[in-house]
């Protein structure tokens, strides 16, 4: 996979799919083949989860195959997310069940596990030439209403899936964000040695 301007700048090497993943806004007007989308959700399905409860569901709509469904999901996006989300090939809302009927007690890992399923899904998408842009900026109550999500379930995150397009399709503001370099906090701030706050010599 060729390095792009958006590839992660790392101190230690990481897998190309991880290095090249980023969250674009410019999506191409291109449908995702059924088998490719299937692979993406299979990847999520096989994510690990606490007690193997698999507390994730995905409400999806493909723009090229279900315009009404896509419009419903799009209507839940807030602000700028709506302006570029309309170009995605597929929109999704990931939903969890914090208090599952099938297990005793609340599932403390429900949201954690949805995040992990989304991570699997994102990397599988990358391996198929697709990109995911996750969005917390969506109206959960509206999603509950227009997608008819029952009370015991909770919308967690929305996401756009699609193939990359040229940033020139975006507004000037969005283009600027699209072209901005990606950044991360240093490993030294994220990995401690044996106790909280203690710098690890390998990551100093």
Ligand X SMILES: Cc1cc2nc3c(=O)[nH]c(=O)nc-3n(C[C@H](O)[C@H](O)[C@H](O)COP(=O)(O)O)c2cc1C
Please report, as ranges, the residues that interact with ligand X according to CB under 6 A: 22-23, 81, 134-137, 157, 182
Among the listed residues 157, 182, 187, 158, the one whose alpha carbon sits nearest the alpha carbon of residue 23: 182
Phi/psi for 203 (5° steps) reads: -120, 15
3-class SS of residue 156 = strand
Task: Name the closest residue to ligand X (Cβ).
Answer: 137
- Give the shortest CB-183-to-ligand X separation in angstroms: 8
Q: Considering beta carbons, is residue 8 or 103 the nearer one to ligand X?
A: 8
- For ligand X, the closer of residues 25 and 72 by Cβ is 25
User: In the complex with ligand X, which residue's Cβ is closer, 23 or 127?
Assistant: 23
Closest contact distance (angstroms) between CB of 34 and ligand X is: 26
Min dist CB 68 to ligand X, Å, is 24
Distance CA 24, CA 159 (A): 11
Of 61, 116, 119, the closest CA to residue 92 belongs to 61
Which of residues 69 and 115 has its CB atom nearest to ligand X in the complex? 115
| Least distance to ligand X, CB of residue 122, Å | 9
**Residue 173 main-chain phi, psi, to 5 deg:** -65, -45
Q: Are 143 and 92 in contact (CB under 8 A)?
A: no
């Amino acid at each position: 996979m060729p390095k792009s301007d958006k590839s992660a700048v790392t101190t230690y090497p990481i897998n190309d799919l991880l290095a090249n993943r980023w969250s674009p806004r410019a999506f191409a007007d291109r449908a995702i083949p059924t088998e490719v989308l299937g692979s993406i959700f299979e990847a999520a399905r096989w994510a690990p989860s606490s007690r193997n409860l698999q507390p994730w569901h995905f409400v999806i709509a493909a723009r090229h195959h279900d315009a009404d469904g896509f419009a419903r999901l799009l209507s839940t996006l807030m602000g700028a997310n709506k302006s570029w989300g309309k170009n995605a090939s597929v929109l999704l809302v990931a939903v969890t069940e914090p208090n599952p009927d099938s297990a005793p007690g609340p599932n403390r890992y429900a949201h954690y596990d949805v995040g992990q399923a989304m991570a699997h899904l994102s990397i599988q998408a990358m391996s198929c030439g697709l990109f995911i842009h996750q969005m917390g900026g969506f109206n959960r109550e509206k999603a509950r209403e227009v997608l008819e999500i029952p009370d015991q379930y909770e919308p967690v995150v929305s996401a756009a899936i699609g193939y990359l397009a040229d940033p020139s399709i975006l507004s000037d503001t969005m283009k600027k964000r699209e072209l901005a370099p990606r950044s991360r906090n240093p490993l030294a701030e994220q990995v401690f040695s044996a106790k909280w706050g203690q710098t690890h010599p390998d990551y100093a």
